[in-house]
Amino acid sequence: MDLENTKAQMRKGILEYCILSVLSRNSCYASDIIKELKEARVIVVEGTLYPILTRQKNAGLLSYRWEESQQGPPRKYYELTESGKTYLDDLNNSWQELVDSVNLIRTR
């Protein structure tokens, strides 16, 4: 078993959940999301984020608006849609269940 691979697999599963969680507080620009995720050490490179954002947006979980930037091209500010919010609630519940299950097994 490759430890790094297992870690990557674990991160992968929670990445979408983390993105939605970040956006649940306020609307964000991609770099803001990246900053938070990087601080939490969930992602290593930024390129991972963009395809997931596109996918979530196309799935109707996110919407975005353009905002002019002082520095560089206009930015996309993402926010959760209504279905994104319910989706996130479901994920919150199942995350809690997962944590409980894992804790139950580990502390037994």
Q: Which residues bind other proteins (CB under 8 A)?
A: 8, 11-12, 15, 30-31, 44-48, 50-55, 57-59, 69, 71-76
- Smallest distance, other proteins to C-beta of residue 27, A: 16
Is the CB of 31 or the CB of 86 nearer to other proteins?
A: 31
Provide, rounded to whole angstroms, the least separation between the CB of residue 36 and other proteins: 15
Closest CA to 19 of 60, 58, 62, 64: 62
DSSP 8-state secondary structure symbol assigned to residue 81:
-
DSSP state of 40: T
The residue to which tokens 């984020």 are assigned? 49
Which of 74/105 has CB closer to other proteins? 74
State residue 68 phi and psi, 5-degree precision: -65, 150
Nearest-approach distance from CB 97 to other proteins, in angstroms: 22
| Least Å from the CB of residue 107 to other proteins | 31
Closer to other proteins by Cβ: residue 51 or 106: 51
Q: Residue 97: phi, psi to the nearest 5?
A: -60, -45
Residue 67 in contact with residue 77, Cβ under 8 Å? yes
Residue closer to other proteins, measured from CB, 11 or 85: 11
